[in-house]
Structure 1
Amino acid sequence: MFLQLLKAFQRLVSQLKSQFVWVRCWLPLPLQLYGFRRETESRTRLRLRVKEKVRQEPGQRSGHQSNWRISRRHLVMDYIFECFFDDTFAQITRNGLQDRQSRRDVLDHLSAIIKGCSEGQNTQTDEVAAIAVTAAMRFHRLAKEQNGNVCLMGKYHNILYIGLRTCWDWGVRDSEVVVQLLVAIYECEKTFERIFLGALFGPHAPHFIAGWRSDFQDQNENVRAMVYFLKHATREKLTLPVWIPRFEQERQLRFIDVPIESCGRSSPLRIALQANAPELLLILLRYGASPQPPDGGASVIIALLDKLIENGRNYSCELIMCLKLLLRNVAMVEMPFKPLLYGARREMFFERYGRLLMDKIIGKEQVYGVPTLRHLCRCVIRDVLRNHNQLPNGIDTLRLPKRLQRYIDLTEELDGPERRGPESEPILPPKPKLGGEVPRMPTISSEEEQSEDESENHVQLLEAVTDAEKAAVAAFVATSDGAITPEAKQAAVAACPPDFEPDLPPDFDPDFPSISGKLS
């Protein structure tokens, strides 16, 4: 009898709970009586650990007490999303989320709940979306643990891509949640092809390459989503273990360098080069992609050079742009045929790619010359920032002029010193420091300087020895203001006396004409 009354009371409370979430606030009974799940042992230990931490650190107790309302709201919203995923996925078949339209239907319902919770609990939408993504990851993890830590795939795995799309739609700013989602995807797939393929080839190409359709509308949206996840992965310094068959070992690679399984285990940068996409290549390089991908493949620069010489001198503009971008990230081009001596390698390189050197597609200084100092500095700075996961945001923290920051960020090339237009303000000299003024040394102003073309049109006047030479020079200068013209020559000849013969040195060549003859 008592059990029947208890079950009836539970049904009543469940109905009330669907209408009032705060019913447990005014009925101080155990949570399982209201239909809440019984806490597992791990959750109980976690709750006790938090209480013990607050008890040991009294300084944080006030903050914990002031934020109890926020924690309570998060618990309520977390339970709402947990119920949503349990009820929704109980009605979906195993392959119910295989097509894109089914995933969009679930996303529409989830977005409505996120918006309602945000308005009802007075919380930012990105925070509510982060709670929803956390609930989706927990649903996936519990299903995986029940299957011996092996992903069941199907709808149990596609829930992660519902969370992925939720992060992008609502702009989740919690990098820790986004990175946990990326790690959960990688643990099951060992790749991120559903993020990169749509950005590289468009939303329709993945259906023919890997058999699934992209969750994004077009390629532009997919590229922006790729940049969004790159930013969060870089902020959290995400590295993942990747098995490289060529090296027969596992290496820690960054998110942007993880190979794509359906494209021959090639890195996204190598695939962007194969697709002749300089815009995507620039994005990948700016966000820290290695110019020599660590996927165990051949040199991407040598592969580009081979593609350029396939059609003679009919070079592709996209390939040249890709090559220029890659050369901005490497100090020197490593010549192939490495077991041979340097001289033999140089001759073989020139025989194969000499046409590119003559056409100035690649610079000689980056092959077997000396690169410029500013290029070496840029490569070293980018390598340091890349190793510390600071590209490209770390460039703004450098105390350098904006022009040099753009040069390091691959968005501008420095062809020479910065020039000022005629209407720009002149550069003022630096103010002297307090404690004593240093007199400025006299210098030649820019107005007094003459170009080479102007100096060629002026006569270099030597000191005259005789009065006749002085008269000839004076007449020459007065006639044309120093310019060599026929009128000036005639005036100089007329100023000289008829019997004028200059004093010539002993080694003077008699075949050399006299001054009067030379001027005439």
Structure 2
Amino acid sequence: MDSFMEYYFEEVFCNLDRDCLNERYKRKELVEYFSTVIAGCAAGQNHTDNTTCKNFITSALKYHNNCKSTNGDVCLMGKYHNVLYIAMKLSFDWSLQDNGVVAALLDELYACEKTFERIFLGESLLDELYACEKTFERIFLGAIFGTSAPYFLAGWKSDFMDKEENVHALVFFLDHATNANLEYTEEGKVYRFIDVPLESCGKASPVRVVIQMGTSEMLMILLRFGAQIFSDNVATNPVESILDRLKDYNRVYPYELVSCLKLVLRAIPKITFTVDKRVFMHLELPDDYNYDRKVALEKYGEILQDHLIPSSRCGLQPVELKHLCRCEVRKMLWNNFELPFGIPKLGVPVALQRYLDLLDD
């Protein structure tokens, strides 16, 4: 496999046009070609599919790095960068189980594209920059919006077949990123793979975008893997954004939005409302005054009456000890990169595992 890949990159790939892989169908054709090669080499060399796929991904990363090093450690983009997307798709198609190789691929995608964003761009490169996703958008956007929307948001089409495959691919890479303890630094702040801001969505985190979309199925996936609802620099409170939208429906609430609210309430200890204390200065309230209670009653009274918010999660009553314990256990698991697959290791009953995994309330 190594000899074949070395020959292919040196004798075939180098003679292809620089923009030969810009179109999705061309990348798909190359993925299918390499899939055939992987299957053939695995059978011919009596290796497992996993080993052969690992060798291909390693060869692709080596070629990409060699090309980058000859250009002052700046990616040449075009086909030289698209080879990483080919590797990304193949690692998913063949369910590559080598955590180190998949993590190296994710690291290379991130480092390469963040470096490219920082360099000066001439006009001839502007279109290519627009067509290139920032950091991990190619993994997240297709799962959140489907296969077509990323083209209008970021100028590219998803390499995965449909939204279902995009979701499966997202879970695949979330699993590897969690097992590899991957973290990335942006503007002085450290993010987990699942929380890296999406440039095309106003630098909001994936979970905030999903909350805004009101997609409960995707929200469940992100929350189970420990997405941080309050991790980015967006000023708006995502819980309040859901509640404000619910108020607009005159107490005829859409199922998806209510489901999103209930899921978020499972993942946080309680709702902390945004309060401008200067509004209440004339009342001379004590320092320990329960502002959350006042906001909940005055601003969201109808939602409370309709039992969409438990009184124990908005300051009206003490939070249930069971729920606080869940939040604390999940926090410890998150600190150790063990969400969600570390929950069965706790040795607790299945019903409690489901509770910790946000599947039940």
TM-score normalised by L of structure 2: 0.88
**Contact persistence 2:18–2:78 (CA under 8 A):** yes
AA in 2 matched with 1:203: T
Quote how far apart the aligned CAs of 1:113 are.
Answer: 1.6
**Contact persistence 1:338–1:345 (CA under 8 A):** no
Residue 300 of structure 1 is matched in structure 2 by 238
> Is 1:117 equivalent to 2:41 in the alignment?
yes
3-state SS of 2:342 partner = helix
Paired with 1:107 and 1:345, the residues of 2 have a C-alpha distance of 54
3-state SS of 1:328 partner = helix
Residue 201 of structure 1 is matched in structure 2 by 145
AA in 2 matched with 1:302: E
Paired with 1:172 and 1:283, the residues of 2 have a C-alpha distance of 21
1:342-491 matched pairs, under 5 angstroms: 342-343=289-290, 346-368=293-315, 369-413=317-361
Q: Which has the higher helix share?
A: 2
Q: Which of 71, 80, 85 is equivalent to 1:156?
A: 80
**1:295 and 1:182, CA in 2 relative to 1: closer, same or farther beyond 3 A?**
farther
**1:412 and 1:90, CA in 2 relative to 1: closer, same or farther beyond 3 A?**
same
State the aligned residue count. 331
Q: Which of 315, 331, 340 is equivalent to 2:253?
A: 315
3-state SS of 1:240 partner = strand
Paired with 2:87 and 2:5, the residues of 1 have a C-alpha distance of 12
For the pair shown, which has the larger CA radius of gyration, 1 or 2? 1
Residue 203 of structure 2 is matched in structure 1 by 265
Paired with 1:278 and 1:344, the residues of 2 have a C-alpha distance of 29
AA in 1 matched with 2:141: L
**Contact persistence 2:273–2:295 (CA under 8 A):** no
3-state SS of 2:300 partner = helix
Paired with 2:307 and 2:88, the residues of 1 have a C-alpha distance of 45
3-state SS of 1:252 partner = strand
Percent of aligned pairs with the same residue? 43
AA in 2 matched with 1:351: E
3-state SS of 1:253 partner = strand
The Cα offsets for residues 198-243 of structure 1, whole Å up to 9 and x where unpaired, read as 0011111111111111101100011001100111111111111122
Quote how far apart the aligned CAs of 1:163 are.
Answer: 0.4
**Contact persistence 2:296–2:314 (CA under 8 A):** no
**Contact persistence 1:196–1:226 (CA under 8 A):** yes
AA in 1 matched with 2:88: L
Paired with 1:122 and 1:407, the residues of 2 have a C-alpha distance of 45
1:128-207 matched pairs, under 5 angstroms: 128-190=52-114, 191-207=135-151
Paired with 1:347 and 1:269, the residues of 2 have a C-alpha distance of 28
The alignment yields a C-alpha RMSD, in angstroms, of 1.5
Residue 184 of structure 2 is matched in structure 1 by 240
Paired with 2:294 and 2:34, the residues of 1 have a C-alpha distance of 64
The Cα offsets for residues 483-515 of structure 1, whole Å up to 9 and x where unpaired, read as xxxxxxxxxxxxxxxxxxxxxxxxxxxxxxxxx
Quote how far apart the aligned CAs of 1:79 are.
Answer: 2.4
Quote how far apart the aligned CAs of 1:344 are.
Answer: 5.4
**Contact persistence 2:304–2:311 (CA under 8 A):** yes
> Is 1:81 equivalent to 2:28 in the alignment?
no
> Is 1:93 equivalent to 2:39 in the alignment?
no
Quote how far apart the aligned CAs of 1:384 are.
Answer: 0.9
Paired with 1:303 and 1:358, the residues of 2 have a C-alpha distance of 19
Paired with 1:343 and 1:126, the residues of 2 have a C-alpha distance of 57
Q: Bigger relative contact order, structure 1 or 2, given CA contacts below 8 A and separation 6+? A: 2
TM-score normalised by L of structure 1: 0.62
Quote how far apart the aligned CAs of 1:91 are.
Answer: 2.7
**Contact persistence 1:335–1:346 (CA under 8 A):** no
Paired with 1:344 and 1:272, the residues of 2 have a C-alpha distance of 28
The Cα offsets for residues 395-432 of structure 1, whole Å up to 9 and x where unpaired, read as 0011211111111111123xxxxxxxxxxxxxxxxxxx
The Cα offsets for residues 56-95 of structure 1, whole Å up to 9 and x where unpaired, read as xxxxxxxxxxxxxxxxxxxxx2222121123332232111
3-state SS of 2:185 partner = strand
3-state SS of 2:157 partner = coil
Residue 269 of structure 2 is matched in structure 1 by 331
Quote how far apart the aligned CAs of 1:343 are.
Answer: 4.9
Quote how far apart the aligned CAs of 1:261 are.
Answer: 0.7
Deviates most, 311-320 or 120-129: 311-320
The Cα offsets for residues 10-48 of structure 1, whole Å up to 9 and x where unpaired, read as xxxxxxxxxxxxxxxxxxxxxxxxxxxxxxxxxxxxxxx
Paired with 2:85 and 2:154, the residues of 1 have a C-alpha distance of 16
> Is 1:221 equivalent to 2:165 in the alignment?
yes
